[in-house]
Amino acid sequence: MIQISVVIPVFNEEESLPELTQWISRVMNAHGFSYEVILVNDGSTDRSWEVILELTEKDSCLRGLNFTRNYGKSAALDAGFKRALGEVVITMDADLQDSPDEIPGLYEMVKGGLDVVSGWKKDRHDPISKTIPSKFFNGVTRWISGIQLHDFNCGLKAYRNKVVKNIHVYGEMHRYIPLLAKWNGFPKIGEKVVQHQARKYGYSKFGLERFLNGFLDLVSVTFVHRYKKKPMHFFGLLGSLSFMTGFIITAYLIFEKIYGLSKGLKVREIVDQPLFFLALVALIIGVQLFVTGFLAELMTSNTAKETEYKIDEEVNFDF
């Protein structure tokens, strides 16, 4: 039985990989853990995959996955999660900013009863251009999700194996794995202050746009969770409000016309009034939202999720 699986997405980190894998090996052997390290090469344009092949030849505990192109961190984690055999699955970045020395502590917290343990880089070695937006992003995420974590974007996290086997990480949802875990019935989420290393090689692969993308992803994952099983509850409600608004306006215009004629008053034609066009638009939108809801219901009941990434090569997975 493998105790720990370490899943590491890799994108252009050829320089850090030898040092990182040696560090992980030292920690695991010092504590007597049985383990595997799954290195997922996410379409690197440097020698990362060649380095992974060299490392896996020397160490049977290392596994390698190679994507046909760059699919993103979420896809890399999802591929690693599907193949992880450890009782506890730990994720970390490949740039040496996450310390493998934190692995034993994370492992003990999960074995102590938690479903998810998220790292908190309390003292960060990042420029203010990253730390200030990060604090704002994490604050908004805490408010919307109700999960009181300080650092949702920390790559160093630990999970019970059952958690990662029951969630699907796609798009850019890797920031919200604790949220996905909670919504899938794993509410025991904890936090651990972890050491944050200064970057030793290369440069950050993420820009400020990730915070905007992160907010959009949060809105998306919240919407999907609430309405993925019953999309008609969302589209039907909006459709009903729009249709009823259009109906009430139309009824009012008709009543006004009939009442005016009965009193011998000069009343404008219904089609000459701006309210008529507003009512017409509201009615049409209402019908369209209803149709959208019905189609979404059909798709929800008949469509299965497909894997969004393609794997070119696997190394050391044939036990």
What pLDDT is recorded for position 162? Answer: 94
H/E segment holding residue 67: strand 62-67
Q: What is the pLDDT of residues 187-243, one digit of tens each?
A: 999 999 998 766 666 555 555 555 566 666 666 666 766 666 677 777 778 888 888
Between CA 201 and CA 197 the distance in angstroms is 11
Q: Is the pLDDT of residue 306 over 60?
A: no
Q: What is the pLDDT of residues 156-195, one digit of tens each?
A: 999 999 999 998 887 777 888 888 898 888 999 999 999 8
Domain 4-227 -> CATH class: alpha beta
Between CA 40 and CA 8 the distance in angstroms is 6
Domain borders along the chain are 4-227, 231-302
CA nearest neighbour of 15 among 43, 40, 51: 51
Q: Is the pLDDT of residue 304 over 50?
A: no
Structure tokens at 142: 């805490």
Q: What is the pLDDT of residues 249-263, one digit of tens each?
A: 888 888 887 877 777
